[in-house]
Structure 1
Amino acid sequence: MARIIGRLAPEDDGLHPLGPEPTFNESMYFNFFDARRALGGFLRLGNRANEGYAELTVCLYLPDGRVLFTFQRPPIQGNAAFDAGGLRFEVLEPTERLRTTWDGPLLELADPRAMADPGRAFRESPKRRVRVELLHEAAGPMYGSAGHDEGPADQAFARAHYEQHMHVTGAVDLEGARHEIDGYGLRDHSWGPRTWQAIHAYEWLTMNFGPDFGAMVSVIQRDPEGTTVRRGGVLVRGGELEPLVDARVEADFAANGLYHEKVRALVRTAKGEALSIEGEVTGFIPLRNRRGGRVTHIGEGMTRWRVGDRVGYGLSEFLRQVE
């Protein structure tokens, strides 16, 4: 069993009782990046059983800049499993081993920024049959909390949440062309009410530099004025977790001021160590969420990270409220 840090139990790798809130969400997310192939991606299922559907996302970044992508809302009738629309997550050994599988069509986006107009992108993009079979094994401790108060449900984002760096193996099959995967990534699991519009902005950075070194950096701004900003994250080195007590994230953006292209993170550990981390976005897709007349931008960038003489891969996710 992997080490657990925080108010969690191995049983939290399973599904939780469905809450009464209309926006109750239980989601798992997995990303993975194979540095040899410059290929990576992420998979997410968010069960919104009280609304009768799951949020399903599959996103694969190809070495030539193309992105294979889908977003769906398949119907579900309860919160008994992560299994909807062709995407399935299984816990093989709590805290240690999980399996993700996908079998279905994905849009082929030669210009992934076309997803800024999702209706047109879904109508006009060709589709490719893709199978994904991945095994995610612990590469560090599981860290987080099984619950904290976020106030009213319509202002909540993730009352219970944990993350874990993972070693990822398996294969991606693109219309018969099989790509063996041996890389690293991060998974997270959250449950409780979730409204994507509850947070004004955040930057969430995941990084893996090999079996002995990973990081997660998080900056969350709850309100437009910036009066409440939470900065932190973790380093995972040699299997040991080191909390980050400060994190500053800067970025270079495309001409629209929204799509990030380069990222710089200055972080400080609880022991006083300061690190400067540079990131170059190698693949990018703009996503959005709409609810109650509001529009949320979520920019997803596969990112090559550098810290000192180490080079790794991961994801840079920027959320902004735009309308």
Structure 2
Amino acid sequence: MIDPRDELLHEFKRSEDWIERYSLNIVDKKARVYGFVDINFMFHQRKTEYIWALYCNDNLYTYTNLTDLDSKPNQKLFSDGRIKYKILSPREKVEVNLKNDVMNAGLTLSGAYPVYVFPLSATAPERGPAPERVVELWERYEQRCKVSGSVTFTKGERKGTSKRIECMGMRKHSWGLRSPDGMSCYSWITIQFRDMAMDLTYMELDGRPYSGGFISRRSGNIPIVEVEMELVSLSKDNSSLISTEFSYRDAQDDRDLIVSRRLHSLEMSVPRHRKGKFVRLRAFSDFTIIGTNKKGVGMEDHYISFERLRKID
């Protein structure tokens, strides 16, 4: 259970590594609509970054804006005029409105399953001569949500037409100190199945793996205690994701392998000092749990160095 105040914007520490972020993603395979929204509060730079992207009938629509930071702690509404994110009821309901020059979308996300609060630390297991190591992490929680709303086209051939959205999605809120300099890869995967959702998170800091996640059902959440990156396959020019494979072990000691096949892939920006050394790709994919042949659809976000990519068999 989270404190309702943790749904709101937090007081920040004066560090360039302190970032607060609201994220959500939706996957409506029937309507052929897939999308995400990120709002990043970069307090040290006194900037707020607004990003959204929607695939609709295989066409990509995007929006990005960097504004001066004018938000305050405990605020419930964030907007730059083209993105509006409003917390209607903590733990229960969020309203999001998106606009660009071609379309607008109105979405309501209602909490469907219990919120999962991630541990504040992660452990790299003992491997050979390297002892077990624990690192402190940023605070984070996620929740499977029911999504309802519509997309309306305001320009072009589809002007005046609308598409209804009724699907599942995931919302995430995180805040705290990040450790980007020692990070060689970071993968975040969320998957929607008919009767459950999954999160897999994998990262490497200073050469050591840290991972976690959860399996979410209406009755509650089961932690995922270990994730391993088995395969990340990219196009020849590294601009598009093709497929991935991640194995996992949950708190009940059940183990399995999850394989993805891309539906849509979008190249994301990386920090200026990491251009040419890292790639970040966000994709909407079909997923299969190999052991049970359970199939779902979701979003995967991979930030990885080219050096680390070369080490993947």
TM-score normalized with structure 2 length = 0.82
The Cα of 1:320 is off from its aligned counterpart by 1.6
Q: In the alignment, which residue of structure 1 is the partner of 2:26?
A: 32
Question: Deviation string for 1:51-108 (max 9, x for gaps)?
Answer: 23211111112333x3212222122323344222521111111111111111223xxx
Q: How many residues align?
A: 283
Matched, 1:67 2:40: no
- List per-residue Cα deviations over 1:291-317 (Å, max 9, x = no partner): 4x2334220001112233433211111
* Equivalent residue, structure 2, for 1:276: 257
In 1, Cα distance between equivalents of 2:295 and 2:118: 30
Say yes or no: does 1:140 pair with 2:113.
yes
1:110-125 alignment to 2 at 5 Å?
none
CA distance in structure 2 between the partners assigned to 1:198 and 1:182 by the alignment: 40
In structure 1, what residue type is equivalent to 2:167?
G
Instruction: Give the superposition deviation at 1:258.
Output: 6.2
SS at match of 1:82: strand
C-alpha distance in 2 between matches for 1:141 and 1:321: 34
CA contact (8 A) 1:56 1:85 kept: no
User: Which residue of 2 is the match for residue 13 of structure 1?
Assistant: 7
Q: Secondary structure at 1:21's aligned position in 2? A: coil
Shift in alpha-carbon separation, 1:217–1:99, aligned structure 2, 3 A? same
Structure 1 spans left out of the alignment, 5+ residues: 106-128, 150-155
Counterpart residue number, 1:298: 280
Amino acid at match of 1:57: I
Aligned counterpart, 1:239: 219
The residue number in structure 2 matching 1:256 is 237
Query: Partner amino acid for 1:177?
Result: T
- For 2:112 and 2:32, the matched residues in 1 are separated by 20
Matched, 1:174 2:153: yes
Q: CA deviation at 1:171?
A: 1.1
Indicate the residue corresponding to 2:95 in structure 1: 99
Name the aligned partner's letter for residue 137 of structure 1.
S
Instruction: Look up the SS of the partner of 1:200 in the other structure.
Output: strand
SS of the counterpart of 1:12? helix
Contact kept? 2:112, 2:218, Cα under 8 Å: no
- 1:231–1:246 Cα contact (<8 Å) kept: yes
Quote the offset at 1:209 in angstroms.
0.8
The alpha carbon displacement at 1:24 in A equals 3.2
Return the alpha-carbon distance in structure 2 between the equivalents of residues 75 and 311 of structure 1: 42
> What percent identity do the matched residue pairs reach?
20
CA distance in 2, matches of 1:239, 1:263: 29
Q: CA deviation at 1:265?
A: 2.4
Aligned equivalents of 2:286, 2:181: Cα separation in 1? 29
Q: Which amino acid aligns with 2:241?
A: H
Identify the residue that residue 169 of structure 2 maps to in structure 1.
185
Structure 2 gap segments, 5+ residues each: 123-134, 155-159, 308-313
Distance 1:161 1:55, change over 3 A: same
Kindly indicate whether the alpha-carbon contact (under 8 Å) linking 2:46 and 2:69 is maintained by their aligned counterparts in 1: yes
Any conservation in 1 of the 2:39–2:48 contact (CA below 8 Å)?
yes
Structure 1 stretches of 4+ with a deviation exceeding 4 A read: 145-149, 194-198
Q: What's the Cα RMSD here?
A: 2.6
* TM-score relative to the length of structure 1: 0.79
* Alpha-carbon spacing, 1:202–1:188, altered in 2? closer, same or farther (3 Å): same
Q: Which residue identity is paired with 1:90? A: K
Q: CA deviation at 1:158?
A: 6.0
Distance 1:78-1:93 versus aligned 2 partners, 3 A rule? closer
1:246-267 C-alpha deviation (Å, 9 max, x unpaired): 2223232212356321122222
